Structure formats: structure tokens, C-alpha cells
Amino acid sequence: MTLPNDNMTREMLAAQAHIHSNGRAMILSDWVNALPINNNAKTLNYIFRLMCILTHGRFFNQTKLKEEEGYLLTPASRLLLKDEPLSQVSFVQMELDPNVMDPSHLLSKWIKNSADPSTPFSIAHGKAIFECDEKDPKLNLQFNEAMASDSRLVISVVIENCKGVFEGLKSLVDVGGGIGIVAKVIADTFLQMNCIVFDLPHVIEGCEGSKILSYVRGNMLKFIPSADAILLKERNQQDWAKLFSSAGFSDYSIIPMLGLRSIIEVFP
């Protein structure tokens, strides 16, 4: 098994971008012509300034095109195209939604009130994000789609670099598995494995299983379906270490994967 690292991930994304890009750069006036905005000197100047910021942020690369500056997409901006297989548009749209942005203005209030165990989101909206999603189908759809786009990217890197972790398993449960993107990719890759997606009822409502993939609704704080492997998320290293030792495991190993994400193996 090859151990993944950030370089590998970057190379994978860069290669993907290269395959899709055709290598065609565009000059600024062509960009502006292609947009539903007025093509005049003022607009061109505004767009030029915006492109400077976006180029500095590595969302575009610059190249000389017949004495003019041409702009090319970068791997990062390719992830923001809606038709890309690993598109992150849904995720970014959710992050920029006022419902999700508003809580970031409450970080100070949240941190200062250390006795309050709630999150900035529940301070802003009076309840946790999953409770809001349960009551609001539009929000629920937006959140589930955002999680799914993120999961598509993460699981593609995991399968590319860490396939060995799953080999030999007969069953797996993805706890908090959303609409089942991760479990579907695993089930399609390891045909002998039975995969269960476990999530709250409103999240998996309407999701259809198959012979090797089933959806189980429930609350992970009350029970978790049993399986050879359990996918869990969102803890820091100390939390995981404590959990594994209390559960009687002898050791664990952490394989850094993509950004904040890692694969953790635990041993009996």
C-alpha cells in the first residue's frame, strides 16, 4: 500500500485538471464578453482587479497571449466548475449561505462563554444544524448535497491511495454517512462487501439501497449497526486515543489523507 501525502493529492488533482483543460487560455476581454455584464472600460478594470486577486489566490494562472495577459484555470478553480466529477460547488455554496456564514460572526461570543457547550451555529439559530435541517427540507437538501460533494472528493483520494485498508472486509457501516456517497463508492469497488449507510431519518429518506448497500436510519448516540469496519468522523487525536483504549483496542495508526482528513486503523 502506498502512503498518501499532500503532494500526491496535489499531483492527482493537477493531473485531473490537465486532462480536462485542453490548455486554452483566455484574454480578459474575451472573459468579459462571455459574462452577462457590460463590456466597457470600467467593468474591464473591475474584472482585471478581481482577476489579480484570484490569480494571487491561485484560482487562475497567467500566461502571455499575443502581447496580452491570458488566464488559465488551476486545479483549485477546476473544483469550482459545476460539471466536474469532483466539483465542490455545492460545498462552497453551503459555506457561503448566510445561515452558515452568520455563526462565524459569533465566534467571539461562543469562545468567551466557555460554560455554554453549544456551537456558534446553535447560538445563531437556536438549535443544532441537524435539527434545523430536519425542519427545513431546502436546508436539508443543501447540506446533504454539500456533504456529498466533499465525500466524493475524499473517497476518490482514499480509494486511489489507501485501498488496502478495506481489503478483506466483509461488511462496513458508514456512521453519519449522509446520502451514502462514500459507502456507494466502497461497495462498487469491493463487490464482496456489504455496506450500510447509517444516518438520521430525514437525511436518508428516499435513498434507495441495493443488494450490497443498505440504509439504516437511527441515532448514533443510541446504537450503531454492527459490521467488520465502522467509519466514524470528527474527533481529534486525543479523543480517538481515549476512545480506542476505553474500547479495549491495543493500538492504532493514523494515515494523513486530504487536508484535515486521515484514515485511522485500530488493532485488537
Ligand X SMILES: C[S@@+](CC[C@H](N)C(=O)[O-])C[C@H]1O[C@@H](n2cnc3c(N)ncnc32)[C@H](O)[C@@H]1O
Task: Please report, as ranges, the residues that interact with ligand X according to CB under 6 A.
Answer: 130, 147-148, 151, 176-179, 181-182, 199-200, 203, 219-221
- DSSP string of 116-181, one letter each residue: ----HHHHHHSS-HHHHHHH-HHHHHHHHHHHHHHHHHHHHHHHHHHGGGTTT-SEEEEET-TTSH
CB 73 within 8 A of CB 60: yes
Kindly tell me which of 148 and 255 has the beta carbon lying closer to ligand X: 148
Report residue 79 as a C-alpha cell. 473544483
Residues 154, 156, 159, 160, CA torsion sign: negative
Query: Nearest approach, Cβ of 77 to ligand X (angstroms)?
Result: 24
Query: Nearest approach, Cβ of 140 to ligand X (angstroms)?
Result: 9
Query: Nearest approach, Cβ of 23 to ligand X (angstroms)?
Result: 33
Kindly tell me which of 17 and 231 has the beta carbon lying closer to ligand X: 231
Residue 197, φ and ψ in degrees, nearest 5: -100, 120
| DSSP tag of 3 | P
Query: Nearest approach, Cβ of 184 to ligand X (angstroms)?
Result: 10
Residue 261, φ and ψ in degrees, nearest 5: -85, 140
Kindly tell me which of 130 and 249 has the beta carbon lying closer to ligand X: 130
Query: Nearest approach, Cβ of 50 to ligand X (angstroms)?
Result: 32
Kindly tell me which of 61 and 262 has the beta carbon lying closer to ligand X: 262
Kindly tell me which of 47 and 187 has the beta carbon lying closer to ligand X: 187
